[in-house]
Amino acid sequence: MKQKKRIVIALGGNALGNTLTEQMLAVKSTSKAIVDLLQEGCEVIVAHGNGPQVGMINHAMAALSREDRSQTNTPLSVCVAMSQAYIGYDLQNALREEMYNRDIFDIPVATMVTQVRVDPEDPAFACPAKPIGHFMTKEQAGFAAEKYGYVVKEDAGRGYRRVVASPLPQEIIEIGAIHTLVESGQLVIACGGGGIPVIRKGNHLTGASAVIDKDFASELLAEDLNADYLIILTAVEKVALHFGKPNETWLDDLDTEHAKKYIAAHHFAAGSMLPKVQAAVKFAESKPGRTALITLLEKARDGILGKTGTHIHLP
């Protein structure tokens, strides 16, 4: 019997929506694309972002502490945990429903609340730069900085936002449990929002005021699970050079050596395509035969079949 291809999928924000209502609709179409891969004979593990959701939760928790002085402000790590469960709840139910609609009844779905260890000496902690949450006036930003210890920065004339560190993932704490679930045939949702950032102090794990890039966390998950493919889903069908310019060039095939040259030449925007290409290169270089694919959600099936997307691999 031919062994199934093991695939880790990293879902971007466009696959999840920005509000409660949008998310419930978005996960239905997202689930169709994922179940398409199951029907192609793939074994799928799902990771996802949480940008809008964790910002919304953080804002709500801050509002609660303002209204009820007995409530302390909720740590960002706890907000990430909340977002994992909230997104997982909608996503796993949508996946189960879509599988049942296609008469697939033998694949259980489970969401794993996942902690990811980060290094307290990571340079990102010295220079927080990842914006989260809502825009604030100067007065609101000053209050948040004084009351909650937030680092706030002005954002391109649109107001002020909280910024946090985005350290690199070092270890997926629950990887043993995730591996067991995957090996038992379950469709696992893990590393939501890049994982709950934690720092190890002896035997104790403490939450960090940070967010982990979901592409890098997904890459580590794919390595740890010995996946064949890492699929990073985004808002474009392929990676481009000179994106949005008259000489824009779409890439079907990209080896890691050329990818690193393009990264050095600043072809990819930070906070957008850059971390996706960096994660793809890291995965492709981690073991011969591994391939990363960057494409649209609705093109994932065609991408695996080699019909579209940008495939990143060793030279």
Question: Got the DSSP string for 85-124?
Answer: HHHHHHHHHHHHHHHHHTT--S--EEEPP-EEEE-TT-GG
Cβ neighbors of 91 (< 8 A, separation 6 or more) are 16, 27, 30, 31, 46, 48, 111, 189
Task: Look at residues 308, 291, 313, 283 and name the one whose alpha carbon lies nearest to residue 169.
Answer: 283
Candidate list 5, 13, 18, 159, residue with the active-site label: 13
The catalytic residue among 12, 51, 58, 130 is 130
Known active-site residue 203: no
Q: Quick check: is 130 catalytic?
A: yes
Q: Which of 14, 18, 73, 93 is catalytic?
A: 14
Q: How far is CA 4 from CA 17, 31, 39, 141, 243, in A?
A: 30, 19, 11, 51, 35
Q: Which of 17, 195, 214, 238 is catalytic?
A: 214
Q: Which of 49, 88, 133, 276 is catalytic?
A: 276
101 is catalytic: no
Contact 161, 155 (CB under 8 A): yes
Q: Crossing angle, helix 51-67 and helix 76-101, to 10 degrees?
A: 130
User: Residue 227: which H helix or E strand, with range?
Assistant: none
Tokens 């990676």, residue located: 239
276 is catalytic: yes
Which tokens belong to 217? Answer: 């966390």
Q: How far is CA 71 from its chain centroid?
A: 30
Identity of the amino acid at 148: Y
> Catalytic site residues?
13-14, 130, 214, 276
